[in-house]
Homo-oligomer: A and B are copies of this chain.
Amino acid sequence: MSKHSNQHMTTDEFRKQGKKVIDWIADYYDQIEQYPVLSQVKPGEIRSNLPESAPLKGREYGDILSDMDKMMPGITHWQSPNFHAFFPCATSGPAILGDLISTGLGIQGMIWATSPACTEVETHVLDWLVDMMDLPKKFKSTASGGGVLQDTASSSSLVALIAARERTSHGDTNLNGSNRQLTVYTSQQAHSSIEKAVKIAGMGKNNLRLVNVDSTFAMDPKHLKELIENDLAQGLIPTFVCATVGTTSSTAMDPLKEIGNICTEYGIWLHVDAAMAGPAALCPEFRFINDGLNFADSYTFNPHKWMLTNFDCSVFYVANRKVLIDSLSILPEYLKNKDTDSKTVIDYRDWGIPLGRRFRALKLWHVINYYGVEGLQVFIRGHVENTQKLKSWIEADERFEIVAPVPLNLICFRHQNGNEFNENLVNSLNESGKIYLTHTKLNGQYIIRFSVGQAGTSLDHLKKSWDYILETVKEMEKD
């Protein structure tokens, strides 16, 4: 029986096709190592295989599922155990199912009343995480602060910056042209999202100070203090410091205590970005990353990076929720309701940029309950242990140099043969499809980054990758 274009999918058809899709995903994971990790297509190649215009008549679902065959060559396989580029973006079975339920329910959590469970489960699991990771209690909803899920750390940091800007300018940004004088500080190694946030917030790139780093690529607090003093001397208003726990280039750890003391002294908002590294605090032995976090006004880390929860899921904590809400709250008539009026509920629309909100907490609920605290610890600990083993192999080969500390799960290293050789090595490895690595520059040198964090990555995978790197180097040394 042919489908009519004007019909919705029946629940019977949904059951049938949905189960096919579940199998399709399971098959994908069973075969994931057979794909080249980095997509090998040329620009425009995927598009050239798609029909020029949309179909007038609806198509059978089975045919639409088959369209994936045209798209798969254009997929870079982030979930492959041989994906070691950028930072991990690890997902898991329970996360996928939690998100599927959220998609199926199709609800909106913009305000409490539009689905109380969406708000309350979110508040609840974010309070859980404060305990699970031994974060400052002020971040709990039962204290002065609270947590909220954002899409990405870029949005979390932007929201933190807006709150700091409004706190400093007393909600009067612009009225006196005061934002012209507000200055922002972050290290030269901080994520690009900070510069982008400064731009979006209209604070001007000329008011962004990039603080020097020390030999471990961590922020130099003395230089921070100098920059602040210098700005004060010029009549500017130091407003926001973003410290990073685990920089993108090399997982450098900015010294939160020293930075925090400076922020306290000058009354500056301290935001801490631990986008990737944050989940390490699930393990007591890695809680050094929390040292000094008690100074933070806001904190962000991404369960979608290294905590088995599919993208997008960025946790954002604030120590004083009132400041955040005052910065972002707008209440039009069509959103007024008795629960909001009662002030007994949280309306998360005032905690971020979008009005509409998915039931994102459900996937986090699934992950935490499926693995349990101990299961998550095993996962994090395993990655760190395996990374340290890989580090020892690299160290044992005197042609290679490890160029930055390896506190957790990222190794920055280079072959002695110079920038061009290392760049060619990375390109050659990526073109092989066997592994995907990306690079950075540290002290002007081209550096290879090896990031460990996908759900399926075992020690055996790392061993094979290292062997393959050595094999490729051997070939290149011959030339």
Contact = CB atoms under 8 A, between A and B. Distances in A.
Identical copies in the complex: 2
B154 A174 contact: no
A473 interface: no
A38 B440 contact: no
Nearest to A7: B375
Interface stretch (A97-105, A260-268, A291-299): A97-105
B14 A370 contact: no
Interface string A346-387: 000000011110100000011011111111001100000000
B54 A332 contact: no
A128 B56 CA distance: 12
Contacts of A203: 174, 202
10 contacts: A9-B93, A12-B26, A22-B100, A59-B370, A74-B117, A78-B105, A100-B103, A179-B179, A196-B330, A196-B353
A334 B13 CA distance: 45
A311 B360 CA distance: 11
A2 interface: no
Instruction: Return the 3 tightest CB-CB contacts between A and B, nearest first.
Output: A174-B204, A74-B117, A9-B93
A106 interface: yes
Interface string A143-178: 000000001101100100010010000001111010
A68 B101 contact: yes
Given A174-B206, A202-B203, 18 more contacts: A6-B371, A14-B97, A25-B100, A25-B101, A47-B124, A54-B369, A58-B371, A58-B374, A73-B117, A74-B117, A78-B114, A96-B100, A96-B103, A103-B103, A193-B355, A333-B440, A333-B441, A338-B427
Interface SS of A by simple majority: helix
A34 interface: no
Interface in A108-133: 108, 112-118, 120-121, 123-125, 128-129, 131-132
Interface string A426-445: 01000000000011110000
A235 interface: no
A134 B205 CA distance: 40
A342 B311 CA distance: 28
A417 interface: no
Given A43-B342, A193-B355, A358-B311, A71 B200 contact: no
